[in-house]
Amino acid sequence: MAVRKNQATLTAQEKRAFVNAVLALKRNGGYDAFVSTHNSFIIGDTDNGERVGHRSPSFLPWHRRFLLQFEQALQAVDPTVTLPYWDWTADRTTGAGRRLHPAPPSGAPTSWAATAAAATAR
Write out pLDDT tens, residues 85-120.
988 888 766 555 554 455 555 554 444 444 444 444
Model pLDDT, residue 65: 92
Residue type, 68: L
Asked if 118 and 109 count as a contact pair (C-beta separation under 8 A), the reply is yes
Band of residue 11 on the pLDDT scale cut at 50, 70, 90: very high
pLDDT in tens, 26-85: 999 999 999 988 887 776 666 676 666 676 777 888 889 999 999 999 999 999 999 999
For the segment 14-31, the average pLDDT, to the nearest whole number, is 96
Query: According to DSSP H, which parts of 1-122 are helical?
Result: 12-28, 30-44, 59-77, 94-100, 112-121
∠ at Cα 22 (102, 100), nearest 5°?
20
Q: What count of other Cβ atoms lies within 10 Å of the Cβ of residue 73?
A: 19
Asked if 67 and 75 count as a contact pair (C-beta separation under 8 A), the reply is no
∠ at Cα 27 (31, 116), nearest 5°?
90
| Measured distance CA(41)–CA(11) in Å, rounded | 34
| Measured distance CA(29)–CA(101) in Å, rounded | 25
pTM above 0.75, yes or no: no
Question: Where exactly are the structural domains of the chain?
Answer: 11-81
